[in-house]
Amino acid sequence: MSALTDILHLLLTANLWQATLAAAVLLLLPALGGTISERSGVVNIAMEGMMLTGAFFGVVADLAWHNPWLATGVAMLAGALMATIHAVVSIQFRADQIVSGIAINIAAVGLTVFLLNRIYGLQDVGHVGASNLLPNINVPGFDQIPFFGKVLFQQNVIVYVALVLLVLTHLVLFRTRLGLRIRAVGEHPQAADTAGINVFAIRYGAVITSGLLSGLSGAFLAIGISNTFVPNMTDGRGYIALAAMIFGKWTPFGAFVACLIFGLGQAIYDNNSIIHVSQYLLSMLPYVLTLIVLAGLVGRSTPPAADGLPYVPGSE
Amino acid sequence: MNDQSLAVEMRGVTKQFPGVLANNKVDLGVRRGEIHALVGENGAGKSTLMNILYGLVHADSGEVLINGKAAHIAGPRDAIGLGIGMVHQHFMLIPVFSVGENIMLGREPVTGPGFYDHARARTAITELTRRYGLALDPDARMGDLPVGLQQRAEIVKVLYRGADILILDEPTGVLTPQESKELFGVLRDLVKSGKTIIFISHKLKEVLEISDRITVMRRGKVVGHLITKDTNEEAIATLMVGRAVLLRVDKAPAKPGGVALEVENLTANSDQSVPALKGASFVLHYGEILGIAGVEGNGQSELMEVLAGTRRATGGQVLLAGRDITTMDANTERDAGVAFIPEDRRGTGLVLSFSIAENSILGRERTPTFSWRHFVLNLIAIRNWALKLVKEFDIRTPSIDVAVRNLSGGNQQKVIVAREIGSNPKVLLAAQPTRGVDIGAIEFIHRQIVRERDNGAAVLLVSAELDEVRSLSDRIAVMYEGRIVSIEPPDTPEERLGLLMTGGGAREGAA
């Protein structure tokens, strides 16, 4: 009984919703990446690894150059590099895309811890100074609106960027020629090829974009929300982003809604001190919701028809 | 030297795939403004040759001339640029896209920073469909259209890319007789407006009806250039197969015995859970072949599956020699003597990754012949059985351990036919027994089915090929909208059957 009233109380605070949006954005970026990749027909479960790699190299770059923007660029490149491995393995060599994704996720954990010890000695990374973090920006005029000002206009710069990317991804996928081609390649690569579309180029582009977005999310995590790197700091967020992508039926806004739900769970979890629900139960929430979606209880979620199928030119 | 009247000329084209010489010094000349048929059995190299022309496959040697000029075609984009368009056997259409998006794909009109321009797409399509008289709704979802209209969209797609030379790969394989007629009308109109058409087919009747000239291929080589009006079905078939082929089924009159199957008011739902079988009734005797004629999707598939025990009936009754088998599952039905050649060879009929030997006992693996107490397989018995079938049914394979995936379609089908007929059934259910099978294999399978009949089995045949139904059956049951609307003699004119199949001219008191 008391747990319920505690949560209801919490739901009325702007702080909670501010935290929800930030947590949602952390998931939204890789979820958008995954959506783009899978819309082109390449299954991508490697967002976790790409995010983690991005987070690590973001911190390394920021500590070295004291410039969060440059560091964010490095983080995105690192994510893109991991994505390129996935692309080569699954597009060029037609390997199983799930296996490739798992391999990247596991390799990312090992790689970051190894380099951590190599560069900084025993896990003592050091902290990024406050002036070198990705800044919070209060939008003048709007940030003073009661309740909504705090939720929407007192956020980290990456939150605004992500919301722009959300709209942009939607427009590109569903309103542009490029988007039509990406979706064509993901639905029926033979049809796209015979129409003169370069299937491999589209797929490479899509997978690498997913790496850029995941890397950006890694930077947000390490030098926006946090100020250091700790081993395995992504803590399954890449997988939750994957769940959000499926929950959102491979659409950007669908994924965003899912991210908000999962983000709310995260925000409640983080404010656990004032409520009395087991944090372990709460941390299960995204996965339980995903299972419910996969079981088809909230309407069928159908992936692109050629998702996960390598393209062999000239085959039927 | 270059012949200016040729739209397409291919000289000495050779293509080696691992293990097969798909094209061996192939020469092809297609005149501007003609319908040129390219015929040959499966695996003769027709599709490879056309894929080379369309840039999907690259030849090892040889040259291609388009309108008399040497052409280098590295990919479909080059082919499109040269005015070549291809309508593939398996449609290159995206079911979840609109008709308009499918047609525009690859050459989409855009506004501003790359936004897809719906209005201009619609205008372009409307203009094309009007010019060639091919009505199509650009906003319809492709997957919702019947096959005939999907093919029309494919043709419009090719025309939109400015093709002057159209390649159609087995275009009638998926069409009803009516749709095929419409297609031929469209093709004639296209030729009148100056297009050149290459028509790939193995249906000789159609080839004779629609083409001006014919190139015949066998095992990667061109074996004949023919002028359509100077040739006939037998001559082409002989060239295709390399020996004289019997196109008519040679059979004695049936000697029907007692009643084998009695189907009463049978109803069943389709996969989409809507009624597909709506009260079908008929009687099948031992020693006869009852052919079911009908446009695909009128309940034939569901009927066969209910009879074979792989689909549940929602009502009605099936009696096998007086015994109620309506609710029996597939296994019990097999034990009762019902054999089933399913229409989906690769999906239902075979386990593709299993060997010929393993496939040859599917469904009978628990019988005492092939197992010890339903439990341990008797491998020696299975091998001997498979060897016997391979020999008896002329299955072309290096060994019985080959995965059936690696066999040609005709040989895959022979494995199924051998397994089902080999079980000495009382009732043989044959659904599309020769779909996608070569002429030579068709002839063989037909003979096996007739032999079963002569041995006293009751045969129920479903086929989308009206010719097959007419030549094999002793009686023809016409099916329309889930019911048997009429029983006709085998010499019923095609026109009458066509009318009945589409719901016209039914007699009262069917069955």
Residues in chain A with CB shorter than 8 Å from the CB of B107 are 195-196
Region B19-33 average pLDDT:
91
pLDDT exceeds cutoff 80 at B3: no
> Residues of B numbered 299-338 whose beta carbons fall under 8 angstroms of chain A's beta carbons: which are they?
none
Q: Residue B103 and residue B154: Cα distance in Å, rounded?
A: 7
Q: Is the pLDDT of residue A271 over 80?
A: no
Q: Is B93 part of the contact surface with chain A (CB cutoff 8 Å)? A: yes
Residue B398 has pLDDT above 60, yes or no: yes
Task: Check A195 against B107: CB less than 8 A apart.
Answer: yes
* Cβ(B79)–Cβ(B53) below 8 Å: yes
% of residues, chain B, pLDDT over 90: 61
State how far the Cα of A77 lies from the Cα of A81, in Å rounded to an integer. 6
Q: SS3 for B391?
A: helix
Between helix A68-87 and helix A47-65 the angle, nearest 10°, is: 150
Alpha-carbon span B350 to B337, nearest angstrom: 20
Could you please report the per-residue DSSP string of A149-206? HHHHHEEEHHHHHHHHHHHHHHHHHHHBHHHHHHHHHHH-HHHHHHTT--HHHHHHHH
What sign has the CA pseudo-torsion A197, A201, A205, A208?
positive
- Does B459 have pLDDT greater than 70? yes
pLDDT (mean) for A127-133: 89
Which domains, and CATH codes, for chain A?
Answer: 2-294 (1.10.3470)
Residue B260 contacts A where some CB pair is shorter than 8 Å:
no
Query: Which has more pLDDT, A307 or B89?
Result: A307
B242-262 mean pLDDT: 86
Statement: residue B225 has pLDDT above 90: yes
pLDDT of residue B506: 53
Mean local confidence (pLDDT), A149-155: 92
Q: Residue B99 and residue B454: Cα distance in Å, rounded? A: 50
Q: Is A160 exposed, middle or buried (CB count within 10 Å of its CB: 0-12, 13-18, 19+)? A: middle
Q: What is the mean pLDDT of residues B177-197?
A: 90
Condensed to tens digits (0 to 9), the pLDDT of residues B312-335 reads 999 999 999 999 999 889 888 998
Q: For residue B153, which amino acid is it? A: A
- The mean per-residue pLDDT over the stretch B66-77 comes to 92
Q: Spell out which residues of chain B touch residue A193, defining contact as CB-CB under 8 Å.
A: 56, 76
Contact (CB, 8 A) for A210 and A37:
yes
**Residue B509 above 50 pLDDT?**
no
Q: pLDDT band for position A43 (50/70/90)?
A: very high
Lowest mean pLDDT among A145-149, A291-295, B73-77, B345-349: A291-295
Contact of B50 with chain A, judged by CB distance below 8 Å, is answered with no
Q: In this complex, do B116 and A180 lie within 8 Å of one another by their Cβ atoms?
A: yes
Is residue B462 classed as helix, strand or coil in its secondary structure? strand
Average pLDDT over residues A100-121: 93
Average pLDDT over residues B298-306: 93
Of A176, A192, A313, the CB nearest to B115: A176
Q: Smallest Cβ distance to A180: which of B51, B108, B113?
A: B108
Q: Which residues of B are less than 8 Å from A197 in CB distance?
A: 105-106
pTM metric for this prediction: 0.81
Residue A75 has pLDDT above 80, yes or no: yes
Q: What is the pLDDT of residue B110?
A: 93
Residue B118 CB neighbours (<10 A): 17
pLDDT at B505 over 70: no
Mean pLDDT comparison of A279-293, B245-259, B477-491, highest-scoring range? B477-491
Is the pLDDT reported for residue B146 higher than 60?
yes
What residue in A sits closest to B80 (Cα-Cα)?
A196
- Report the chain A residue with the minimal C-alpha distance to residue B115: A176
Q: What percent of chain B has pLDDT over 70?
A: 98
Q: Which pLDDT score, from 0 to 100, does residue B47 have?
A: 87
Q: For residues B94 and B142, is the Cβ–Cβ distance under 8 A?
A: yes
CA distances from B244 to A148, B214, B215, B247, B250 (A): 85, 19, 18, 9, 14
B86 CB neighbours in chain A (<8 A) are 194
Judged by average pLDDT, the poorest of A226-235, A271-280, B372-381, B497-506 is A271-280
Tell me the average pLDDT across B471-491: 93
Inter-chain contact A195–B92, Cβ cutoff 8 Å? Answer: yes
Q: Is residue A97 within 8 Å of residue A308, measured between CB atoms?
A: yes
Minimum-distance CB partner of A316 among B90, B108, B110: B90
Sheet holding B69-71, edge to edge: B20-31, B6-17, B61-66, B69-71
Q: Is the Cβ–Cβ distance between B491 and B468 less than 8 Å?
A: no
**Average of pLDDT values for A10-39?**
94
Task: Please determine, for residue A274, whether its predicted confidence score (pLDDT) is greater than 70.
Answer: no
Which residues, 6+ apart, have CB-to-CB distance to B86 below 8 Å? A194, B50, B54, B76, B79, B158, B166, B167, B168, B169
Query: What is the model's pLDDT at position B511?
Result: 40
Domains defined for chain B, CATH in brackets: 6-241 (3.40.50.300), 249-337+425-511 (3.40.50.300), 347-411 (no CATH)
Inter-chain CB proximity A178 and B114 less than 8 Å: yes
Written as one letter, the residue type at B171 is P
The size of the A-B interface in CB pairs under 8 A is: 77
Q: Look at residue B25 in the predicted model and tell me its pLDDT.
A: 95
State the virtual CA torsion across B81, B86, B90, B94 in degrees, nearest 10.
40
- pLDDT surpasses 90 at B498: no
The pLDDT value given to residue B1: 43
* pLDDT score of A2 more than 70: no
Q: Write out residues 17-36 of B within 8 Å (CB-CB) of A.
A: none
Lowest-confidence pick of A190-194, A244-248, A299-303, B281-285? A299-303
Predicted pLDDT of residue B486: 93
Phi-psi region of A126 (alpha: psi -120 to 50; beta: other; left: phi over 0): left
Q: Which of A193, A194, A300 has the highest number of chain B CBs within 10 A, making it the mutation to test binding with B?
A: A194
The yes-or-no verdict on residue B484 having pLDDT over 80 is yes
DSSP3 helix / strand / coil % (chain B, rounded to 5):
35, 30, 40
Q: Which residue has the tokens 């939750």?
A: A240
